[in-house]
Chains A and B, each alone.
Chain A
Amino acid sequence: MSKDQVRVVVTGLGATTPLGGDAATTWSALLAGRSGIKPLTADWIDTVPVKFAGVAAVDPGDVLPRPEARRLDRAEQFALIAARQAWEDAGTPKVDPDRLGVVVGSGIGGITTILQAYDTYRDKGWNRLSPFTVPMLMPNGSAGWISIDLGARAGAHATVSACATGAESIGYAIEMIRSGRADVVVAGGTEAAIHPLNIASFAAMRAMSTRNDEPERASRPFDKARDGFVLGEGAGILVLESEEHALARGATIYAVAGGAGFSSDGHHISAPEPSGTGGKVAMERAIRAAGISAADVVHVNAHATGTPVGDEIETTAIKDAIGGHPLVTATKSMTGHLLGGAGGIESVFTVLALKERIVPPTANLDDPADGIEVEIVRGEPRKLPEGQIAAINNSFGFGGHNVAVAFTTH
C-alpha cells in the first residue's frame, strides 16, 4: 500500500447466522466446533431430496417489530438486523450523511417474496398483493433499507455475484473509502433462500449434500466423504471506516481492511477453472492491494463449500498464491453455505480470528481428501502468531466470480 493511500479499518461487526443471533454467539459456537445444521420440518420436505439446512438460530420475526418485519423480505430482515448490530458495535458513530455509504448484496434477492407473491396473484388477483412486493423482491432492497435506517447518502450499492456477493460488497466498500467517496461504509451480504424451489434447483445441479440421516455431519469441506454443500441463511455486516475518521472519534479498531482482489475465471458458469488460477489471481491481487507480502498471510477462511469439485482446487490456489504456511479453515462446515451472505459472515470470522489470534476448526473433517495442499485446522482451534499478521477471506461464485479480501492486524 502506498503511503498516500487511505487506510481502511474495521470498527463494527454484526451477524445473524445458523449458529447465533449475533457475531459473538456465532463466534463462540465456531470455536467450539458446533454445527448449526438441523433437519427441516416444513410441509414441503417430502418434495425435495435434501431434508436439512442451516436455519437462522434466531428468527428475525422475533427481533424486528411486526410492522417493520412485514414490509421486508427475510433476506432484508437479516441484513437490517446485522447492520444495526454492526452499527451499535461501532459505537453508533456520528457521520456526515454525505460521507456515509452502504454496500450490501444478496446472491438471489427476495426469492421467497417473488414465489409467495406469485401465488397470491394467481389465486387471489393483483389487488391482493402487498404494495411492498417490489421493494421486498428487489436484490438491492437490503442496501436501500439500511441506507434509510442510517440516513446514508454517499451511495447505497448492491453487488450481485452469487456466492461471492458478500465479499465483493466489502471489496467495493473498501474502494469507496479509498477513492474518497465516503468516510464510513456499512458493507456485507445477506441471504434467505431456504425454500423448496431453491433446494430443488441446487439439487438439480447435484450440488447439495443429501446426507439426510446425519444433518450435522453433512457439511464437510475438504473431507473425502463430502457429497455437496449445505444451505444456510443469515447475514454478516462490517462497518468499514477510514483510519483517520476512526481515530478522530476514538473508535475501537478490530483490524485493517487491507484490500480486495477480484478476478473472473472466464471458464464455466458453475465449475471452477481446474488449475485454480482464478482464485490464485484474486488472492495475489488482494495481497498487492493490502500492501503486504504472502508471508504475512497466516490464515485463510476458505470458500470451501463441500461440493466434490471445488475444495482441492482452492487449496492449490492458496498454495500457489500464498504458500503452504497459512492455517486454513472452512467455517461453512458449521454454518452451512449462506450464498450471498457467506462473504459477509466469513469476513466477520476472519476479522475476529485476527483480533483474537485464533482460528476455528473445520468440523466433520475426518478423512482429508487427496490433493489437499495446505494445512486445514481441524479438531481444536489453533492459535495465530503474535506480531503483525494478515488473513484472507475467499469467496467464489457461480459465474466464475472470485473475490479475496485481505485483513491485517492494526
Chain B
Amino acid sequence: FSHTLRIPRPDAKDQQKIIKELQQLSKELLELYQKSEKGLPESTKYTLPCLTSDPHPPNNINSSAILAYFQEIRRHIDNKGVTDEIIGQLKKLKSQDTWKIKVSVPTESFECKCFVLTILQQFSKCMDQVNEPQRPKGQLR
C-alpha cells in the first residue's frame, strides 16, 4: 500500500513571490558561473524548455522541465547553495502530475560547460521575461 503525499501548491500570491525569488536566484547563479568560467562561449545548440503554452502565470513556467535540467546540471556547478535554492523553489511550483523529462548532459567536458552556461543564461532570461509587468493581453513577448 503506497500513499503519495500530495504537497499542496502555493497560492497565487506565494507563487508570485517564488517567481520573483527565482528571477533573483537565476541572475545570481549565472553571474557566479560566468565569473568562475571565464571566456566560455554560449551554445546555440541547446534550448531550455522554460515556458509552457499556458499564458497564465504560474502555469506558463515549465517548472518540472526546468527542475529536471537543474537536477542534472547541479553536479557540474560549484555553487551548490544557490542551485539547491532554485531547485527547492521549482519543486514548490511544480504540479504533482507532470512527467519527469529526461535531460542528457554532454559528456565531453568543454561541451558540458557550454551546456551549463547556456541553460543558466536561458533560465535567467526566461525569469526576467516572466517577471516583466503583465501586458494588456497578458501575452508574453
Partners in one complex: no
Binding site for A on B (CB under 8 A): none
Binding site for B on A (CB under 8 A): none
